[in-house]
Amino acid sequence: MPAERYGFLQAAGARLRYACWNVPGTGKTKGTVVLLPGRGEFIEKYATEVVGELLGRGYCVYALDWRGQGLSDRALADRGKGHIDNFSTYMADLQLFLDKVVAPAAPRPILALCHSMGAHIMMRVLAENGSGPLSAGVLCSPMTALKREALLRSVLTFMPEVPAMEERYLFGTGPFLLFAREFSANFVTHDERRYLFTDRWFQADPRLTLGGPTLGWGRQAVRSMTAAVAPGYLERIELPLVLISAGEDPLIESGNHDAVAARLRHGEHFTIAGAKHEVMMETDELRALFWEAFDRLAKSVLGQ
């Protein structure tokens, strides 16, 4: 579903791409959803289906391509490498998007819908900068810890923090290869049709592709996750949040999501048993559980 408006926001050292959709026709606008994807994702992936479902519920949608992915500027000359200097850069980008694009124009109330890395960055912004224009949030598979994080931390202790090393692909990853995206080996969904949505976008516009993360991205991710669970940090968040865990997530260590939600002032935790990492891209039956949780939050927190 094409957006009514695409634009670029000038951030520090990069242009950030965003998109905005209005509720079609004469439908009543209930508010706005700020949609933030995970690492390696892009606006069009959610425009394929999720945006339409939100518009059908009466919500305008504002979405962002994180720097280094989608059609936002990439950090390195090799645009296939997923790299970041510090997660505080992502946080500043999100705050700029909320301040300059969302807050001035988005119909209220505003609900955040964030996946994985996007959910992590949102939590840190809420903890450090406050709720801003947001009224509530749904965090899907939030990146609070990684399955292989202990191994990653061990490797990082032996790697010098210099550009020549930081800009190398993280061990076990490499450049994007479309033929390597076999459905039978995927970590994110049980639904082959939805898995192939992404491949079709990659074929239509190869600029959307992204390879593995760099060693530097991994180092900064570990540091950011450590900061996010420091004593007293999560307790700063005042926004009502629902954390949705994927019961069969092979990427995110969702075992700590219940403890994370318990530390929030207004937190709720819900697990979708049987779901892999990308809950919003799962089978119809599993997605129905996600939408039930979303609609419940809208009704209880937003009064809709």
For residue 242, pLDDT over 60 is answered with yes
pLDDT 10s digits, 4-36: 999 999 999 999 999 999 998 866 899 999 999
pTM for the whole structure: 0.96
Q: Is the peptide bond preceding residue 109 cis, with omega within 30 degrees of 0?
A: yes
Token pair in block for residue 131: 């709720």
Phi/psi region, residue 291 (left: phi>0; alpha: psi -120 to 50; beta: rest), is alpha
In the chain, what percentage of residues exceed pLDDT 70?
98
pLDDT 10s digits, 106-133: 999 999 999 999 999 999 999 999 999 9
pLDDT of residue 47: 97
Backbone angles phi, psi at 32, to 5 degrees: -135, 145
Residue 304 pLDDT level (bands cut at 50, 70, 90): low
pLDDT 10s digits, 43-68: 999 999 999 999 999 999 999 999 99
- Domain with 240, as residue range(s), is 5-301
In angstroms, the first-to-last Cα distance of the chain is 25
CATH number at residue 62: 3.40.50.1820
For residue 303, pLDDT over 80 is answered with no
Token pair 């026709």: residue = 25
The number of domains in the chain is 1
Distance CA 254, CA 142 (A): 8
Token pair 């700020």: residue = 34
Token pair in block for residue 173: 């990853």
pLDDT of residue 151: 84
pLDDT of residue 154: 86
DSSP code, position 280: G
Burial class (CB in 10 A: 0-12, 13-18, 19+), 136: buried
DSSP code, position 67: T
pLDDT 10s digits, 198-234: 999 999 999 999 999 999 999 999 999 999 999 999 9
**Average model confidence (pLDDT) across the chain:** 95
pLDDT of residue 199: 95
**Which residues does 67 contact at the CB level (< 8 Å), separation at least 6?**
11, 14, 16, 73, 74, 75, 84, 89, 90, 93
